[in-house]
Copies of this chain bind each other. A is one copy, B any other.
Amino acid sequence: MTIQKNNVKSISDKDFTLEEFKLILSSLSQRITEPRLDILGILKENHNPLTISEIHSKLKNKKTDLATVYRTINLFAELRVVNEIDFKDEFKRYELIYDRHHHHHIVCRKCKNVENVETCVLDDLENLLKKRVTVKLHIR
């Protein structure tokens, strides 16, 4: 964020993100509405995948309906704007796709909290193999 002396407002990070979102929606021939931008913003701000009700409760100052969250997220999932993740015994969770790289998730057995894991066993294995190291795996 740049601070300018001449009273001309600079484009903040938030505004920039907003423009990004509008571009995504219009490029997909989808109308730009407040609930849609809000939901994209919430998904962008959160590095962890969120459930429908988590998204809805983060919107509770706005009067956005739960049904709208469902409809919007389902739309985004069809359009491949969000990724739908399904953990055993848990609700479905959603995360933005467009700027994410391949990663996995780790789930707490107690509190069900979900964190991203930026390492991948198979990638690690691949790297080892590239180095032609002989490995003994202990699986299960």
Contact = CB atoms under 8 A, between A and B. Distances in A.
Contacts of A86: 86, 88-89
Interface string A72-108: 0000000000001010110000000000001000000
Identical chains bound together, number:
2
Interface of A: 84, 86, 88-89, 102, 122-123, 125-126, 129-130, 132, 134-137, 139-140
Given A84-B88, A86-B89, A129-B134, 12 more contacts: A86-B86, A86-B88, A102-B140, A122-B137, A122-B139, A123-B139, A125-B125, A125-B137, A126-B137, A129-B135, A129-B136, A130-B136
Nearest to A137: B126
